[in-house]
Amino acid sequence: MKTTRSRTLFQRANLFIPGGVNSPVRAFRSVGGDPLFIKQAKGILLEDVDGNKFLDYVLSWGPMILGHANSHVLKAVISATKRGTSYGAPCEGEVELARLIVKTVPSIEQVRLVNSGTEAVMSAIRLARAYTKRDSILKFEGCYHGHADHLLVKAGSGVATLGIPDSPGVPESFARHTLTAPYNDIKATEKIIHKHANNLGAIIVEPIAGNMGVIPPSDEFLPWLRMITKKYGILLIFDEVITGFRVNGGGAQALYKVIPDLTILGKIIGGGLPIGAYGGTKDIMQMIAPAGPVYQAGTLSGNPVAVAAGLETIRLLQSPGVYKDLEKRSKELAEGLGEAAKQAKISYYQTRVGSMLGGFFTEGPVSDYAGAKKSDTVRYAKFFNGMLNHGIYLAPSQFEAMLLSTAHTKRHIQQTIAAAQKVFPTLR
C-alpha cells in the first residue's frame, strides 16, 4: 500500500501541529506507522491522499450513521449554508432540532445546544452541582466524558490508548472533587456513594461504555444506579454522545428503560458537523441562564448549518426499519468475525450492542476497564494493520468501537469477514 503522500503530509503537520494531529488517537501511535490523510469519503468508502480506498468502520468516531456525504444531508447543509453560516442569534432550525430531541429522548423535556460533547458534559455537571448544591461527582473508570479538567481522571479513549493515567495541567484541587468507581461494579460503587453521599451532586456514566472498547452494562447496573441516585438525591447523568440515536432512536435509556435526570448528546445529532447538547427535566433545565442563574453561553451554539445536518439525519433515522436493518448487519458482521477468530484459534472476546461492536484479545470476558486493559494491544495492532492492508479501516486503538452505518451493505459485511478470515491466522 502506497502512503508516500500521507507520510509527507504528516511530516509537514508535525512542524505546525503538536504530534501532527488535532486529536491524539488519530496519530496511530498505538498501532504503529503514520496516520493516513483522508482526501474524501462517500458512503462507507474512505479515500486517502495516495488513492488507497477503505471500507470505513470508524465513521468519524460515530456521527456518520448514514454513511459519508449522504445526499439528503448534503442538500440540507448546502441549503442552510446559502442562507448564512452563523447568525449569533436564534434560528428556526435549532427550535425544530430541540423539538425532535425532546420528542425522541425519554429523559429530555428541555435541551440546550452547544458545540461539542466536552462542552455539553462540562455544562451539565455545572448544572448538576448548582441544582444539588453539592460539589463532588462520580465517574467510572475507563469512561470518557471529554477533556474538561475534572473529567480526565481514569478516562478511557485516547487517554487509555496513549497510556496516560491522568493529564498534567489538572490541578489537584479540581481532581479531588471527582470520585471514580469500576464500571459495572455495584458493591464498590455503593461503598463510595455511602461515604460521600452528602457532597455527591452527580453520577455520570456512559450507559454503554464505548471508550474502553464496547462494554455493555450488566442487567442490574443501570437500574441500580437509578435507584441509588434517587435514594440520595444525586442526579444521574447519561453520557449518550456515542449511543444517542445509534443503539436506538431514543438512545441507550430507551433501550434499557432506565431514565436519567440529565442526558448528554453529540455526534449523530449534528450529522457530521460540530455539535453537542445536554437536556433533562424542565425543573433542572430552567436553572440555566437566562431562565436561571447557571451561566453557559456559546457563539456558535445552535449553528444553523449544524442543526440542518442534524435535523435531516434524525429525520432519516426515523424511517421504518432503519434500526432493524442496522441490527441485522451488525449481528452478521459480529458472527462472521467471531467465527473467523475461532477457526484461527485466536482468543477474541466479542461485545456488541446494536451497531456498536467491540473485540478484545483476551482469554476471558471483559466487563470493566481493568478487564479491557488486559487485552493484547500488540495483537490488536497487528490485526488493525492486517485489516488496513486488506482495505478495512478500523479504529487505530483497542479502546474504541467498531461502528456500522446504514450505508454498509451485505456485500461490505462479507468483504470485511473475508478480510478477517485472512488476517486472524497471521496473529498466532
Identity of the residue numbered 239 = D
Catalytic residue among 34, 56, 131, 144: 144
Active site residue 239: yes
CB atoms under 10 Å from CB of 79, counted, come to: 12
Q: Residue with C-alpha cell 448544591?
A: 133
CB 135 within 8 Å of CB 201: yes
CB atoms under 10 Å from CB of 275, counted, come to: 30
Catalytic residue among 34, 48, 56, 239: 239
Supply 371's cell numbers. 478487564
In whole angstroms, how large is the CA radius of gyration of the chain? 21
In terms of Cβ atoms closer than 10 Å to its own Cβ (0-12, 13-18, 19+), residue 124 is buried
How distant, in Å, are the alpha carbons of 40, 280, 410, 418 from that of 341?
A: 32, 43, 20, 12
Q: For residues 403 and 57, what is the distance between their CA atoms, to the nearest angstrom?
A: 5
Helix axes 322-343, 304-317, angle to 10 degrees: 80
Q: For residue 357, list its beta bridge partners.
A: 352, 402
Supply 385's cell numbers. 494493520
Residue 252: alpha-carbon gap to chain centroid: 12
How distant, in Å, are the alpha carbons of 211, 317, 388 from that of 121?
A: 15, 25, 34
CB atoms under 10 Å from CB of 49, counted, come to: 16
Q: For residue 244, list its beta bridge partners.
A: 248
Catalytic residue among 267, 278, 323, 369: 267
Active site residue 348: no
Cis peptide before 290 (omega within 30 of 0): yes
- Give per-residue burial for 395-421: e unless 16+ CB within 10 Å, then b: bbbbbbbbbbbbbbeeebbeebbebbb
- Is the alpha carbon torsion for 136, 137, 139, 145 positive or negative? negative
Active site residue 219: no
Supply 302's cell numbers. 445552535
Identity of the residue numbered 280 = G
In terms of Cβ atoms closer than 10 Å to its own Cβ (0-12, 13-18, 19+), residue 335 is middle
CB atoms under 10 Å from CB of 233, counted, come to: 13
Instruction: Give the SS3 label for residue 97.
Output: helix
Catalytic sites, residue numbers: 144, 239, 267
